[in-house]
Structure 1
Amino acid sequence: MNKQIALYGGTFSPPHLGHASVIEALLRLFPCDEVWVMPSADRHDKTVTASGEHRVKMLEIMIAELFLKPKMPILISDFELRLSKPTVTYETLKLLKEKYPNHDFHFVIGLENLGVIETRWINGKKLFREADFIAIKNPLVPLPNKLPPHITIIDDVVWSDISSTFIRKLIAQGYSGLPYLTKGVAEYIKDIINSNFKK
C-alpha cells in the first residue's frame, strides 16, 4: 500500500500561526501517514523575500515549538528548493511522483485558489483533473461550483486571514511580528534575517 502524504506547499516567508493552524487541521482530520511542508522556490506569481535556507529553518523552529508530539510525522521538504530551476505546481507533483512512486501525494490548497486553477495556473486543467486535493475551507470564500474529481474538503480549521506579506510589512515598520509568529520565529528574524524582510 502506498504511503499517503499531505503536501502543504507555500512560500512561508515567514511561516506564521495561520500556516500552523492548517498543519494542525491536517494532523487532526486527514488520514495520512505524513505531512510534508514544502517551501517553494522562486515563483512567477509571488515574491520570495527570504532564502530557502532561512525559510526551512523558520519552519523547523515553528514546528518544534508548536508540535511537540504530533500523531504523525511532520517533514520539512526542500525538494522544490533543490530543483535546478523554478517550477510550477503541476511539474513539482509530476517530479515527486517520479521520485517517490510508492507515495500518494494530496496537495493542500485554499478555496481562493481552488476556483481559479483551470484558468490561471500553468497546466491548470491537467492539475485540476489529475491531482488529489485537500481543500482548506475559508469562511470568507464560497465553495466553487466546479470541484476537482479528487478532493477532500477540510472545514474544521481555526481560520486566520493573516498573511506573510502583512507580517513582513509589520517587521519593516519595526514590529516583531508577534503575536502572528511564534516567539522563536520572531527572534530568528530579529537576530538573523531582519533585513531580508524590510521590503
Structure 2
Amino acid sequence: MQRKFACFGGSFDPPHFGHLRIIESVLNAKEIDKLFLVPNFLNPFKSHFYFSPKLRLEWLRILCKESLKVWADKIEILDYEVRQNAPIPTYQTLQFIQQTYSLTPKDKMYLLVGADNVESLHKWQNFDWLQNNVEFVIIPRKGFRIPQNFQTLPFCAMDISSTQIRNKLACSDFVELSRLIPQPILELILKEINCKKIDKK
C-alpha cells in the first residue's frame, strides 16, 4: 500500500496565519498520511534569523495545538534541523525522514515550496536527488509565476510575510499584527520582545 507524506519546511520566523492556511490547504487538498512541519535552524540562503530556533519551534507547536487539533494525528513537527544547530539542506532532512519512517520506493513524498523559490530550485544542494525522490508542490505567492510543469497547491495566495510582520513589530502596529498572527503566538512574541528590551537596558 502506498503511503503519502508531505514536507513543509521554513523559517517560521515567526509562524503566522499564512502558514496556518497553507497547512490547512495541504491537508484538505491531498490524501496525506503525515505532514511534516520542519522549522529550520537557519535558511541556507539567509545570514541570520530574527527569533531563535528554539522559540520558533515552540511557537509552531502552539500554532498546531491551538488551531489544527482536528488534524493532530496527521501533523508531525520535526525538530531535526533545529537540533543540528546549523543550516541543513533540504535533501538531508528528507533523507532523515525516509530513514526514520522507513519510507519505501512505493511511498510518495510531496515537498512544499513557495513560488518565490521556484527560480532558484536548481541551486538547492543535491537538486538531482530531490527531483528523483520528491514531487514538488508549489505554494502560490502574489507576484510570482508558477511554471506549468509544477503541481500547484489549491491555495489563495495571502499577502503575508515574516518580513512584513517584523516591520509591524518594529513600529508596534498591534491592530495589524492581530490580523497576521494567531493571538496565543502574538502574546508570546510581544512578551519576548519586551524581555529583549529589558535585557538591553
1:72–1:15 Cα change, 3 Å: same
Deviation at 1:100, TM superposition (A): 2.4
Which of the numbers 94, 111, 116 marks the counterpart of 1:112?
116
Unaligned runs of at least 5 residues, structure 1: none
Q: Which residue of 2 aligns with 1:136?
A: 139
How far does the alpha carbon of each residue in 1:100-140 deviate from its partner, in whole angstroms, 9 at most, with x for none? Answer: 2236432111222123211x322234323432222223453
Q: Matched residue pairs, number? A: 191
**Take 2:34 and 2:129, find their aligned partners in 1: how far apart are those partners?**
25
The alpha-carbon distance between structure 1 residues 196 and 161, as it changes in their structure 2 partners (threshold 3 A), is farther
Deviates more, 1:15-24 or 1:120-129: 120-129
- Structure-2 residue corresponding to 1:8: 8
Structure 2: runs of 5 or more not aligned: none
- Alpha-carbon RMSD across the aligned residues, in angstroms, is 2.5
Greater helix share, structure number:
2
Q: How many angstroms does 1:73 deviate by? A: 2.1
Q: TM-score, normalised by structure 2?
A: 0.82
Measured at CA, do residues 133 and 181 of structure 1 come closer, stay the same or move farther in structure 2, by a change above 3 Å? same
Kindly report which structure 2 residues correspond to 1:1-199, keeping only aligned pairs within 5 A, or say none.
1=1, 3-46=3-46, 47-70=48-71, 73-83=74-84, 85-102=86-103, 104-118=108-122, 120-138=123-141, 140-144=143-147, 147=149, 152-155=151-154, 157-176=155-174, 177-194=177-194
Q: Distance in 1 between matches of 2:193 and 2:27?
A: 30
Shift of the alpha carbon at 1:51? 1.8
Which letter maps to 1:11? Answer: S
Report the TM-score when normalising by structure 1: 0.83
Distance 1:84 1:168 in 2: 23
Q: Percent identity?
A: 27
Aligned AA (2:9): G
